[in-house]
Amino acid sequence: MILFKLTQNELYKIFSLVRSYIGIILFTGIVPLILWGYGMGTSHIEGQIESSVSDMFFIEGSPTNGFTAAYFIMNFFWIHIPFLLALVGGDIFAGEHANGTFRVYATRPISRMSIFTSKVLATMIYTFIFVFYFGLLTLGLGLIWHGGGDMLVFHNGVLILESSDALVRFFIAYFFSFMNMVLVSSIAIFFSTMVRNAVGPVIGTMALFIFILMVSSLPLEVFEGIQPYLFTTYFSNWEQAFFDPIPWPDLFRGMGLVGSNIVMFLGIALIIFRRKDILS
Partner 1 sequence: MTETETTTPQSIDPIPGDQGSPALACYGISKRFKSIQALDDVSLSVPRGSIFGFLGPNGAGKSTLIRVVAGLIAADKGHFDILGYSSLKGHGVRKDMSALVDRADFYKNLSAYQNMKILGRITGHDSNEHINRLLDLLGLYDRRKDKVKTFSQGMKQRLGLAQSLLPDPKLLVLDEPTTGLDPQGMHEIRDFILKIAAEQNVTIFLSSHLLHEVELICSDIALIFNGKLAAQGSMQNIFREIDNVTIELEVEDSKTTLAFLEKNDLVTQITPLANAISIEIHYNRIPELIRLMSAAKINIFSVSQRNRLENYFLSLMEGK
Residues at the interface with partner 1 (CB under 8 A): 2, 5-6, 8-9, 12-13, 16-18, 99-112, 275, 277-279
Q: Taking the complex as a whole, how short is the minimal distance between the CB of residue 57 and partner 1, in angstroms?
A: 56
What values do phi and psi take at 155, rounded to 5? Answer: -150, 115
Question: Which of 16/156 has CB closer to partner 1?
Answer: 16
Question: Which of 91/150 has CB closer to partner 1?
Answer: 91
Q: Taking the complex as a whole, how short is the minimal distance between the CB of residue 25 and partner 1, in angstroms?
A: 17
- Return the HEC string of 120-186: HHHHHHHHHHHHHHHHHHHHHHHHHHHCCECEEEECCCEEEECHHHHHHHHHHHHHHHHHHHHHHHH
Q: Taking the complex as a whole, how short is the minimal distance between the CB of residue 108 and partner 1, in angstroms?
A: 5
Dist. CA 216–CA 208, nearest whole Å: 12
Q: Is the separation of the CB atoms in 14 and 89 below 8 Å?
A: no
| DSSP code string of 43-66 | HHHHHHHHHHHTTT-PPPB-SSSH
Pick the closest to residue 177 from 68, 81, 34 (CA basis): 81
Amino acid letter, residue 224: E
Dist. CA 172–CA 162, nearest whole Å: 15
Question: Which of 78/105 has CB closer to partner 1?
Answer: 105
Q: Taking the complex as a whole, how short is the minimal distance between the CB of residue 102 and partner 1, in angstroms?
A: 7
Question: Which of 121/255 has CB closer to partner 1?
Answer: 121
Q: Taking the complex as a whole, how short is the minimal distance between the CB of residue 121 and partner 1, in angstroms?
A: 15
Using CA atoms, how far residue 55 sits from 49, 51, 58, 59, 148, in Å, is: 11, 7, 8, 10, 21
Q: Taking the complex as a whole, how short is the minimal distance between the CB of residue 111 and partner 1, in angstroms?
A: 5
Question: Which of 44/275 has CB closer to partner 1?
Answer: 275
Question: Which of 5/80 has CB closer to partner 1?
Answer: 5
Q: Taking the complex as a whole, how short is the minimal distance between the CB of residue 200 and partner 1, in angstroms?
A: 19
Question: Which of 116/178 has CB closer to partner 1?
Answer: 116
Q: Is the separation of the CB atoms in 143 and 67 below 8 Å?
A: yes
